Amino acid sequence: MSDFRSDFIRFAIAENVLCFGEFTTKAKRLSPYFFNSGLFNHGESLGRLGQFYADAAIASGVAFDMVFGPAYKGIPLAAATAIGLAAKGRNVPYCFNRKEAKDHGEGGNLVGAPLKGRVLIVDDVITDGASKRESVEWIRAAGAEPAGVLIAFDRQERGQGERSAISEFESEYGIPVISIAKLENLVGFLQTQPALEQNLQAVESYRAQYGAS
């Protein structure tokens, strides 16, 4: 596992963003872990999170000219990613959308830099892919090109069929989905933590039951 992926798992656990127990997912499955990016809710944690997003974007090798954050969670994530990239020598513009168009001032649905070139969509997770599909439509309508989607955590869990929502999205749009870390990285991390052995067994059991093919 790349160091930043292991470090991210450790960071998410320390911030209680990634926690263990019994949680009911949107698909009504009883999960032994839960990832809630909304708990990266103070300046220091958001700053570190932006660094991890930047690391994942650079490591992916995906070519992009700017970042876009879908409302609402994607807005601070796109800003944090742009700051993280600038700290690593990649100064790129960013943009985000409003849920409702503004009919005064500058107007419109988009805020920030103009959508152009190759655009990297930044969000927390992909559940059903709806907001990411909307983002692709915004980008293409502006005459720009969606370059990929960057998320924090990939549960690698199948949807209604055998494939995950991420796999279905990639097939539909022909663009890659990048993650800072995946379920397999979480399992690898837990294998190095004897104190978390009970959680490892529960996560591996859940993966065996619901993991995407």
Domain boundary assignment for the chain: 3-210
Q: Answer yes or no: 104 catalytic.
A: yes
- The single residue listed with the structure tokens 């926690």 is 19
- % of the chain at pLDDT higher than 90: 76
- Edge-first strand order for the sheet with 177-182 is 108-112, 94-102, 66-69, 118-122, 145-154, 177-182
CA dihedral angle for residue 110, residue 129, residue 124, residue 81, rounded to 10 degrees = -50
Q: What separation in angstroms does the CA of 140 have from each of 76, 119, 125, 159? A: 22, 10, 22, 27
| Confidence at 107, pLDDT banded by 50, 70, 90 | very low
Give per-residue pLDDT as tens, 114-145. 999 999 999 998 877 778 888 999 899 999 99
Q: Which fold has domain 3-210?
A: Rossmann fold (3.40.50)
Alpha helices in 70-113 (DSSP H): 74-87
Cβ distance 23 to 30 under 8 Å?
yes
Question: Is 42 among the residues known to form the active site?
Answer: no
Residue 145, judged by CB atoms within 10 A of its CB (0-12, 13-18, 19+), counts as middle
For residue 105, the 8-state DSSP code is: T
The burial of 14, by beta-carbon neighbours within 10 Å (0-12 exposed, 13-18 middle, 19 or more buried), is given as exposed
Q: Please report which confidence band the pLDDT of residue 163 belongs to, taking 50, 70 and 90 as the band edges.
A: confident
Catalytic residue among 26, 28, 42, 104: 104
pLDDT at 193 over 80: yes
Enter the pTM of the model. Answer: 0.92
CA distances from 55 to 68, 150, 174 (A): 17, 11, 23
Q: Is the pLDDT of residue 93 over 90?
A: yes
Please pick, among 73, 88, 102, 182, the residue that the annotation labels catalytic: 102
